[in-house]
Structure 1
Amino acid sequence: MQRKIIHIDLDCFFAAVEMRDQPSLRQHPIAVGGSVDARGVIAACNYPARAFGVRSAMPTARALKLCPQLQLIPGRMQAYKEASQQVMAILQQYSDRIEPLSMDEAYLDVTGSTLHQGSATRIATAIRQHIWQETGLTASAGVAPNKFLAKIASDERKPDGLFVICPHQVTDFVARLAVEKIPGIGPKTAERLHDLGVYHCPDLAKVPLPRLIRQFGAFSQTLLERCQGIDHRPLCAERVRKSVGVEQTFASDKQSLQDCEAELPGLLSTLQQRLEHHQATAQVQKVAVKLKFTDFQQTTVEQQIPATDATAIRALLVTAWQRGQGRGVRLMGLQAGLAQAETKQLELGL
């Protein structure tokens, strides 16, 4: 049976909750994020702010330069959690096969559903209307035969839109698709593909397979499948936690290794508390130290050690610091990769 996958994505979620609760903000550029004094970053912004070039993960100082009239909101995580829980409860009324991706997006598999005469398009429309009526938030939706295409489709009509890719439209849709649109292809991978002359999905077929494998290794198979619109991945209703981490952005750059070392005990204590909260202390397979330098370049050093080995973790910090070649450090983080029952090693997603 041809699969029917829906991807639901709430529009500018954190900012949307703030605009819902304070309607006077709707016509103004706003952003949820940390203050300039605290070296903050933007967590979310509304579309008036995006018109000025403001984006999530952008340093607050940069955002305010682009948009001096930007209204900065510190954020209310509890309100966002409650709104997310409302939305997920709504989704459960339309399918028992749901894969949450984050607080504001999820996949639904409605293959074989009898709701709305079995039409995935009508189900997606009903979900969006239901979310608006129950929460006052808008959601964009993508409908397609697989997860990869459904996620891309949900971006096609943002905000508050619906885009459908029918099975017979997949070939034509993928033929026009830029490789940057494929989830998992970041700027560096896109640059390497461009060096091979690959700008759109059909271009990949022109690259000799041995050369592709030399460049991308095991990822070559995924690239070949995505560029043909193929994605056999099932929905994962129970997402397995792969890592637990903690980060701190400093109010002023740390200019010495000793200054960084002084922050290590606090970060390590927080990491261990979070591991205990997730009952994952005994599962730790790797520990990584991440440093982000003054110029926003970053490095990560990891090793197969327990999260309780402070001496070994300090050694990782020393290595990371040396890579900075004297640059100040604006952010420091620790992450513990968790070993799963079916595997003994796990790559840290840093």
Structure 2
Amino acid sequence: MVEPIRQRKIIHVDMDCFFAAVEMRDFPELRDKPIAVGGPANSRGVISTCNYEARQYGVRSAMPSSEALRRCPGLILVPGRMSVYKAVSQQIRAIFARYTELIEPLSLDEAYLDVTDCHQCRGSATLIAQRIRAEIQAETGLTASAGIAPNKFIAKIASDENKPNGQCVVLPEQCAAFAAALPLRKIPGVGPRTAERLAEHGLQNGADVLKHSPERLHEWLGKFGPVLYQRAQGIDPREVQPHRERKSVGVETTVAEDLRSEQACLDKLMSLLPELARRLGEKPFKGLNVKLKFSDFQQTTVACQGNELAPSQLAALLHTGYLRGEGKGVRLVGISVTLASHSSPQLSLL
């Protein structure tokens, strides 16, 4: 007799404007004021995280500080304190560990938890998420949001539904309808250009994707096509991987319109640094990598050794990669670091 497949219970916990929230906790005079963690405007600084007051003015992560100040003249820029954020992250991780060993951190401020075998709270993933969020607030003074679902993809999307300080539950029988109603831009992997290409074929949401075969989607999107077909059905077979050894950490973005100059590419590259720093935390690294994808979908990666995100070194890598495009527009810019297994100097955005 074939045993039925056991339904997973996955929680995605995402801290609310984490870096900014830590600053408001430690410096109460900043509360109720628009603040952002980031570099100064006069040194090509960019925003790492901002609070919800700042977001009301259109300030967003990865935005140049100069643009953020233009949109919100009263914005208070706060330099980051990575060692503090890391310490708080460890506190939060310890709370997770009270409920499960199956914890897959994505960055300092978010993680997947598999609570399928957790017997606390009568085994209810909804109640476990509520208790975890309550303990985080009681012990750190910070709020978190959560998504609860039978797989990682739906849980991650759901955690953003009721932010800040809320949670969203998607039951197994609701996954297909939930995914079908999703705007395609909410599905990880669908950037501006991919969404534009899909819109040209009349695809706006998950339900539209299912009107086409995986083979047709493969013709349009390459190997991501069949993945998108699965996601549009609310399917994600990936397991929570607590012991996954990461070899690199990176961030990339696909632009709405091709970048037509090396300087435009450099500006976009520099705007990615705060998000890379957030994902990296204080993990030591030994190599830098810059990735470019050109308008004809050919791509190139330039790498070198190094343990600091020095703008001059990144600019040199970008220059080498840009020349390989022979004047073609650039549709994607990415930066990553190769992780080291030994200690090295703390990350610095020079």
TM-score normalised by length of structure 1: 0.75
> Residue 226 of structure 2 aligns with which residue?
221
Q: Following TM superposition, by how much is the alpha carbon of 1:93 offset from its aligned partner in structure 2, in angstroms?
A: 0.6
> RMSD between aligned alpha carbons?
3.4
Matched residue of 2:236: which SS? coil
Q: For 2:240, which of 235, 240, 246 is the aligned residue?
A: 235
* Distance change (3 Å), C-alpha of 1:235 and 1:68: same
- Whether 1:47 and 2:46 are equivalent positions in the alignment is no
* Distance change (3 Å), C-alpha of 1:59 and 1:322: same
Q: Following TM superposition, by how much is the alpha carbon of 1:245 offset from its aligned partner in structure 2, in angstroms?
A: 7.9
> Residue 252 of structure 1 aligns with which residue?
none
Q: For 1:83, which of 81, 88, 96 is the aligned residue?
A: 88
> Residue 121 of structure 1 aligns with which residue?
126
**Alpha carbons 2:289, 2:304 under 8 Å: kept:** no
Q: Following TM superposition, by how much is the alpha carbon of 1:325 offset from its aligned partner in structure 2, in angstroms?
A: 8.6
Provide the rounded CA distance (Å) in 1 between the counterparts of 2:109 and 2:246: 18
- Whether 1:22 and 2:27 are equivalent positions in the alignment is yes
Q: Following TM superposition, by how much is the alpha carbon of 1:242 offset from its aligned partner in structure 2, in angstroms?
A: 3.1
Q: Following TM superposition, by how much is the alpha carbon of 1:94 offset from its aligned partner in structure 2, in angstroms?
A: 1.0
> Residue 206 of structure 2 aligns with which residue?
201
**Alpha carbons 2:301, 2:321 under 8 Å: kept:** no
**Alpha carbons 2:214, 2:229 under 8 Å: kept:** no
Q: For 2:110, which of 97, 105, 109 is the aligned residue?
A: 105
> Residue 322 of structure 1 aligns with which residue?
323
**Alpha carbons 1:5, 1:150 under 8 Å: kept:** yes
Q: Following TM superposition, by how much is the alpha carbon of 1:210 offset from its aligned partner in structure 2, in angstroms?
A: 3.6
Provide the rounded CA distance (Å) in 2 between the counterparts of 1:153 and 1:176: 13
Structure 2 unaligned residues grouped into runs of 5+: 1-5, 252-260, 267-279, 293-297, 307-313, 328-332, 340-350
Q: Following TM superposition, by how much is the alpha carbon of 1:318 offset from its aligned partner in structure 2, in angstroms?
A: 5.4
Render the CA deviation track for 1:161-189: whole Å, top value 9, x for unaligned. Answer: 01100112222222221111112222122
State how 1:302-341 maps to structure 2 within 5 Å.
302=301, 307=305, 319-322=320-323
Q: Residue type matched to 2:159 in 1? A: S
Q: For 1:13, which of 10, 14, 18 is the aligned residue?
A: 18
Render the CA deviation track for 1:139-173: whole Å, top value 9, x for unaligned. Answer: 00010010000000100000000110011222222
Give the ranges of 4+ consecutive aligned residues of structure 1 lying more than 6 Å apart after TM superposition: 313-316, 323-326
**Alpha carbons 1:301, 1:316 under 8 Å: kept:** no
- Whether 1:190 and 2:189 are equivalent positions in the alignment is no
- Whether 1:173 and 2:181 are equivalent positions in the alignment is no
- Whether 1:62 and 2:67 are equivalent positions in the alignment is yes
* Distance change (3 Å), C-alpha of 1:208 and 1:173: closer
Provide the rounded CA distance (Å) in 2 between the counterparts of 1:18 and 1:179: 34
Provide the rounded CA distance (Å) in 2 between the counterparts of 1:334 and 1:205: 33
Q: Residue type matched to 1:302 in 2? A: T
Q: Is the radius of gyration larger for structure 1 or structure 2? A: 1
Provide the rounded CA distance (Å) in 1 between the counterparts of 2:120 and 2:54: 38
**Alpha carbons 1:34, 1:41 under 8 Å: kept:** yes
**Alpha carbons 2:12, 2:113 under 8 Å: kept:** yes
Q: Residue type matched to 2:24 in 1? A: M
Structure 1 unaligned residues grouped into runs of 5+: 247-254, 261-273, 292-298, 327-331, 339-350
**Alpha carbons 1:301, 1:319 under 8 Å: kept:** no
Greater Cα shift, 159-168 or 179-188: 179-188
**Alpha carbons 1:41, 1:59 under 8 Å: kept:** yes
> Residue 342 of structure 2 aligns with which residue?
none
Q: Following TM superposition, by how much is the alpha carbon of 1:336 offset from its aligned partner in structure 2, in angstroms?
A: 5.8
* Distance change (3 Å), C-alpha of 1:290 and 1:112: closer
**Alpha carbons 2:36, 2:50 under 8 Å: kept:** yes
* Distance change (3 Å), C-alpha of 1:29 and 1:208: same
**Alpha carbons 1:289, 1:300 under 8 Å: kept:** no
Q: Following TM superposition, by how much is the alpha carbon of 1:206 offset from its aligned partner in structure 2, in angstroms?
A: 1.8
Q: Following TM superposition, by how much is the alpha carbon of 1:212 offset from its aligned partner in structure 2, in angstroms?
A: 1.5
User: Identity of paired residues, percent?
Assistant: 54
* Distance change (3 Å), C-alpha of 1:39 and 1:226: same
> Residue 154 of structure 1 aligns with which residue?
159
TM-score normalised by length of structure 2: 0.75
Provide the rounded CA distance (Å) in 2 between the counterparts of 1:302 and 1:290: 4
Q: For 1:140, which of 145, 152, 158 is the aligned residue?
A: 145
The size of the alignment, in residue pairs, is 292
Matched residue of 2:37: which SS? strand
Provide the rounded CA distance (Å) in 2 between the counterparts of 1:38 and 1:181: 33
* Distance change (3 Å), C-alpha of 1:124 and 1:288: closer
* Distance change (3 Å), C-alpha of 1:69 and 1:101: same
Provide the rounded CA distance (Å) in 2 between the counterparts of 1:201 and 1:333: 27
**Alpha carbons 1:288, 1:300 under 8 Å: kept:** no
Provide the rounded CA distance (Å) in 1 between the counterparts of 2:326 and 2:152: 43
Q: Residue type matched to 1:59 in 2? A: P
Render the CA deviation track for 1:122-148: whole Å, top value 9, x for unaligned. Answer: 000000000000000000001001000
